[in-house]
Structure 1
Amino acid sequence: MAQLVVLYKTPTDVAAFDAYYASTHIPLAKKVPGVRKYEISQGTIASPAPTGVHLVATLTFDSLAAIQAGLGSAEGQAAAADVANFATGGADMLMFDSKEV
């Protein structure tokens, strides 16, 4: 399996971010080919030190190649382009193969 993790930094308007993310971005991102599972954090992002992270999205794919293919599709490009419409605090994206241990 492989993971695409997006760390959304605290936006300028949290309520607007949350509403837009739920109503617009999630439906777009769920259309990306190859997505097997889509999870988001709920509540506060806890850490020993302040993170500045408002929300974590974790999308599971079959492989890193599947992530890359999904992001390269028209649906992946639309989801990526949409981030600028709501992520006013910025976002970091991490992609990696994973294994269960």
Structure 2
Amino acid sequence: MAKLVVLYKTPKDPAAFDAYYNATHIPIARKIPGLRKYEISTGPIGTPDGPSGLHLTAILTFDSLAAIKDALGSPEGQAAADDLANFASGGADLYMFDTKDA
């Protein structure tokens, strides 16, 4: 399996971010081909030392790293990427990697 992790930094208006993300962005992202699982964080995101500068994390699961790359290049993946400008005012970092059970 492989993961795409999106770390959303704290936006200018967290309530507006949450409303848009749940009502609009999730339905767009769920259409990405090859998506096996879509998880998001709930509540505050902390560190061992206290609060973080993150508002939300999303973890999208795919069959492989190649599947993530294909998905992001698809029209649905591009639509999800283009949608970030509509709500992620704090910015977002994306990371992708293969996984294995340890």
Measure the CA separation in 1 of the matches of 2:46 and 2:14.
17
Amino acid at match of 2:35: V
Measure the CA separation in 1 of the matches of 2:99 and 2:88.
27
Cα deviation for residue 3 of structure 1 reads 0.2
Q: Does the residue aligned with 1:15 lie in a helix, a strand or coil?
A: helix
Aligned to 1:36: 36
Aligned to 1:54: 55
Measure the CA separation in 2 of the matches of 1:51 and 1:73.
32
Q: Does the residue aligned with 2:67 lie in a helix, a strand or coil?
A: helix
Amino acid at match of 2:75: A
Q: Does the residue aligned with 2:46 lie in a helix, a strand or coil?
A: coil
Q: Does the residue aligned with 2:58 lie in a helix, a strand or coil?
A: strand
Structural mapping, 1:1-101, within 5 Å: 1-49=1-49, 50-101=51-102
Measure the CA separation in 1 of the matches of 2:6 and 2:101.
20
Deviations 1:67-90 (A, max 9, x none): 000000000000000001000000
Instruction: Give unpaired runs (5+ residues) of structure 1.
Output: none
Deviations 1:28-84 (A, max 9, x none): 000000000000000011202442000000000000000000000000000000001
Measure the CA separation in 2 of the matches of 1:94 and 1:51.
18
Amino acid at match of 2:69: Q
Q: CA RMSD in A?
A: 0.7
Q: Does the residue aligned with 1:57 lie in a helix, a strand or coil?
A: strand
Q: Does the residue aligned with 1:3 lie in a helix, a strand or coil?
A: strand
Instruction: Give unpaired runs (5+ residues) of structure 2.
Output: none
Q: Does the residue aligned with 1:38 lie in a helix, a strand or coil?
A: strand
